[in-house]
Amino acid sequence: MGTSCAVDAPSALSRIRESGLVGMGGAGYPTWKKLARDKGYSVVVANAAECEPLLEQNVARLETDSDRILSGLGIAMQIVGASRGIVAIKAKNTDALETLDASVRRFKDAQQDGTRLSVALLEDRYPVGDARAVVRDVLGSLIGPAAHTSSAGALVLNVETLLRIHEILVEGKPVATKDITVAGIIDGSGYERDTSLVLYDVPIGTTIRQVLRALHITPPRPDAQFLLGGPYMGDPAQLDDPVTGTSGGIMIAGPELQDRGPVGVIVCACGASRDRLAAIVDAQGARLAGTVNCKNVVTLPDGRLKCANPGVCPGQAQAVLSLRKQGATSLLISHCTDCTNTVMQIAPKLGMRVHHATDAYLRAGGERLIRAHREPRPADR
């Protein structure tokens, strides 16, 4: 393929609007609104960071469909009048990078209009895929918590959203399916227990129960818990809940570890919600000692929590000491990688046990818990 078709922007926008396409990275904002042309975008960033642990569907798509994703990127660039396109992806995804590099070369060979396409490499940490973190790490601009990425001249679109733009405008397909990862307790699937299964094009509306049955996954234990989405930001779900246009995955875990606490909770703007954290404390059979926000949390006028600088820890000692004073003997956190590291520098010295909201899912998926962050040793590669 190697290029994207020439598009008439108003008609492309109206077809995207009619398709009902929303951002497939999880936010669910109508894509046609993001593409509206009066924002002065100079660059479109294809977000392939996929920073949630266990999720693999975006990177898998790049390994198999990078031409179609770049086609969608080229179309988005034309619609908003941007001259640059950048694919942001973690450096660790070497297979996807190989395919992507070949596609970028084909795209460049085919385009004669001076557009520039490049690949930006990201670190392997959470939440490197947050749109503001992507703009900061790729373009060097930290924008405010309430600001739109357009204030940095950037439009950030998830790679699956770009694939669907290609499908709508080039292949004439409706938006009816979603790529997902199924991970955690997947006994009976025939795959290794710690493997994340990627499913392309699951019809939107298919229930978790139907997906598991189709995969021959053993009916989960009665105390299993489910998330639609990734371990950090997913929504607690039941077996008959449907996959939606923003579901990144189905996570299946066993019960939370019991810890009677009292438990102190620290809320992260980019992690599990306050309600989900309270539910985990309940499931632990614990008493809640107190709840505080990470120092970087900013509450917007509409009540949403945003991080002042996603993934860059402002120090957690104050929050941990405050909860200790309130009687907490354990902590439940939903922190980014960097802040979790900081919590681990102080909480154990105070004799506190530390739980992370993602623990049950990462244990079930055979992944390392979110604790101290370090670069992989050569033996881990």
**In this complex, which beta carbon is closest to ligand SF4, that of residue 199 or of residue 297?**
297
The rounded distance, in Å, linking the Cα atoms of 112 and 105 is 13
Answer yes or no: are the C-beta atoms of 185 and 224 closer than 8 Å. Answer: yes
Q: Does 161 bind ligand SF4 (CB under 6 A)?
A: no
**In this complex, which beta carbon is closest to ligand SF4, that of residue 139 or of residue 268?**
268
The rounded distance, in Å, linking the Cα atoms of 98 and 100 is 5
The rounded distance, in Å, linking the Cα atoms of 339 and 308 is 13
Instruction: Give the count of residues interacting with ligand SF4 (CB under 6 A).
Output: 15
Q: Does 294 bind ligand SF4 (CB under 6 A)?
A: yes
Q: Does 127 bind ligand SF4 (CB under 6 A)?
A: yes
Q: Does 269 bind ligand SF4 (CB under 6 A)?
A: yes
- Which one of residues 48, 162, 250, 307 is an interface residue with ligand SF4 (CB under 6 A)? 307
- Report how far apart the first and last C-alpha atoms of the chain are (Å, whole number): 33
**In this complex, which beta carbon is closest to ligand SF4, that of residue 277 or of residue 297?**
297
**In this complex, which beta carbon is closest to ligand SF4, that of residue 211 or of residue 307?**
307
- Selected range binding ligand SF4 among 56-64, 246-254, 331-339, 353-361, rule: CB under 6 A: 331-339
Answer yes or no: are the C-beta atoms of 250 and 225 closer than 8 Å. Answer: no
199: helix, coil or strand? strand
CB of 146 to ligand SF4, least distance (A): 15
The rounded distance, in Å, linking the Cα atoms of 125 and 156 is 19
Answer yes or no: are the C-beta atoms of 237 and 208 closer than 8 Å. Answer: yes
- Selected range binding ligand SF4 among 4-12, 23-31, 308-316, 323-331, rule: CB under 6 A: 308-316
**Encoded tokens for 231:** 């371990």
Q: Does 270 bind ligand SF4 (CB under 6 A)?
A: yes
Q: Does 339 bind ligand SF4 (CB under 6 A)?
A: yes
305-307/297-299 β-pairing: antiparallel
Binding site for ligand SF4 (CB under 6 A): 127, 268-271, 294, 296-297, 307, 310-311, 313, 335-336, 339
